[in-house]
Structure 1
Amino acid sequence: MDSLAKKFLEEDVVNKDLYVQGIIFKDDSFLNVLNQKFNDYLFRINFYSYIKKSIFFAAMDLKKRENELREKEGLYLNVLDADFEEERINTIADAPMDFTEEIYRDKENIDFSDILTDKETLQAINILTDRQKQIIHECIIRDKEEETVAKELGISKQAVNKIKKTALDKLRKEIGGK
C-alpha cells in the first residue's frame, strides 16, 4: 500500500473504520465518505507543501535583497546601538601618513640642488641620465630596497642594480674617488 495512504489511515481511527466498511464490506456510502476525507487530506498536504515552499523562496528572496542592500550601504557609518536601540555615528580612525612619501610622490624630475649643496657633487650628478638619477634618488636618498624600486619602475631588480652601479661608477670617476 502507498505510504501516503498508510499515513492517512494512521492519522485517525475513523479513517481505518471507513476503510474497513468501504473497501472490505463494499459499502458505497462509507466509500464516498472515505474518498472525500482522503481528498481533503491530499489537499492539506499539497497546501502545506505550497506554504512551506512559498515561505522558503520568500526567505531566500529577502536574504538576497538584504545582501544587496548591505553591499550598497556597506560604506555608511551609522549603526544601530544595541544598548540604547538608537542610531549611533561611527568614526573612521585617521590613518598615519608618511609625509616624505607625499612630498616626493608627484615629483617627476628630481632636483638634487634641493638636497645637495656641494657644487662638485651636483655637477657630477648632472652628468647622469634621468633614469640613473631616479634610481640613485630612490635607492640612496630615500633608502628604498632595490626590489621595491624595481617593482615601482616596472623593471627587474638586476636592472636596478646595474643602473645604480653604473651611476655610482660615473659619480666616482667624475668626483675623482675610488
Structure 2
Amino acid sequence: MDNLAKKFLEEDAANRELYVQGIIFKNDSFLAVLNQKFNDYLFRVNLYSYIKKTIFYAARDLKQRENELREKEGLYLNILDADFGEEKINTIADTPIDFAEEIYKDQEDIDYREIFTDKEVLEAINTLTDRQKQIIYECIIKDKEEELVAKELGISKQAINKIKQAALNKLRKQIGGK
C-alpha cells in the first residue's frame, strides 16, 4: 500500500498539496477531498489491473485453443515465416496422375501388370478422380492402413474411408459387378 500511496502522490502536484493540508495540518475538508481522489485512483488501478488480467488470460486461452486445434487438425503444409513470426500457407501444385503408369512404376513385391491386364479395369480406374485414384492406390495396391494414408494426405480417416468406398462402388458399376 505504501508504494501505491507514493505513486498517487507523485501522479499530481495537487495530490501532494491535499496530503499536506489534510494529513499534516489536519484539515478535514482537504482530507475528505484527498480520500475521494485516492479512492478514485484505487478504482482506476484496480480497473486497469482487471482489464490487463482479462486480456492476458483471454490471449492465453486463445493460444491454447489454437495449439490444440493445430495439433488436432495437423496443418502439415503450413510453414512459419521467420521474418514475421506468422504462419503462411504453403501450397503444392496438384498435378494429374496417370494411375496406370503409377501402378507399373512402383513394383515392390507384386507384379501389378498381372493384376491389371484387363483393359476394362484400367479404363474404369481412369474414370475415377485423382483423389480417388490416389486413395485406392495407397489403401488397396500398397496395402497401407487408412490412418497412415489419412496422416500423409492431411485429412481424416473417415474421409479416406468415404472416398475409398465411393471409388470402389464406382468401379463396381463400371465393370458390371465383376
- Normalization by structure 2: what TM-score? 0.45
Comparing both chains, which one has the higher relative contact order based on Cα–Cα distances under 8 Å and sequence gaps of 6 or more? 2
